[in-house]
Amino acid sequence: MLQKFRMAIPNKGRLRDPAVKLLEQMGIQTHIDERTYISKTNDPDLELLLLRAFDIPLYVQYGAADLGVTGRDVIVERDAKVYELKKLDFGECQLVVATPAASRISSLDDLPPDIKIATEYPNTTARFFESRGVHPEILSLRGATEIAPSLGLADMIVDLSSSGATLHRNGLRVVGKILDSTAEMIANSVSFRVNRARIDDLLDKLNGKASGTRRIEGRE
Ligand code: PRP
């Protein structure tokens, strides 16, 4: 039996609803309920995978999914070898370094050597600081990172900021930016060649907004 073409979208979080809207734009109809991880669509050859945004780069890199929608932040964190097909117009945010507003640290140039940083992005954080000659202790968390400094767990955090409201509410201020992120459509590199016509057709349905194709190489 021929394997179906599979597209992965986030099943939770801030990218889920806009990704579901994107399906409508592409003429993909499906029925999604909370505990469904794989779903049929109106196209008998197309299956939808509902996965965690953080895991989608892995599924796409290793070919378990042909296409995926996820944030650039997690593609970089996973150092995923995938094709970046299209930057999407949602999920805009920045990955920033933030400290308590009262901290004596005012820039990334005056960090104490024994600094502790809490983050959901340990790989990106390590690469960023090590490229600046700093070797912080990185504490890997699974969310609510903004509370870590006020509880004494860490001196700083690296986390996403969009409106800035969460940082502000937790008494934190930005002292540096690591990267800009939006949602992206990514493809498995083999599938991109084998299924080029199908992928082009889906991209065409996204109102001709595709911004060209380029390979995401490993990031250092
Ligand atoms: C992200 C991020 C911040 C928040 C920032 O969380 O981790 O907590 O958004 O947004 P703001 O600047 O508009 O306040 P997300 O909702 O993605 O969930 P998470 O806690 O799972 O990271």
DSSP-derived secondary structure for 13-37: STTHHHHHHHHHHTT--B---TT-S
Q: Is the CB of 85 under 6 A from ligand 1?
A: no
CA-to-CA separations, 86 to 34, 67, 203, in angstroms, rounded: 27, 11, 8
CA neighbor of 97 nearest in space, from 68, 134, 71, 69: 134
pLDDT tens for 1-10 read 467 899 999 9
Give the tokens for residue 40: 């049929």
Phi/psi-derived region of residue 179, left when phi > 0, alpha when psi is between -120 and 50, beta in every other case: beta
> What gap in Å lies between CA 52 and CA 44, rounded to an integer?
24
24: how many CB neighbours lie within 10 A of its CB? 10
Burial class of residue 43, CB neighbours in 10 A (0-12, 13-18, 19+) = middle
Give the distance (Å) from ligand 1 centre to CA of residue 43. 34
Structure tokens at 14: 């801030």
The answer, yes or no, to whether any atom of ligand 1 lies below 6 A from the CB of 122, is: no
Over residues 165-183, mean pLDDT? 97
Most ligand 1 atoms within 8 A of CB, residue of 54, 158, 166 to mutate: 166
Dump pLDDT digits (tens) for 63-120. Answer: 999 999 999 999 999 999 999 999 999 999 999 999 999 999 988 988 988 999 999 9
Give the pLDDT of residue 180: 98
The model's pTM: 0.91
Atom of ligand 1 nearest to the CA of 142: 21
137 is written with which tokens?
A: 């202790």
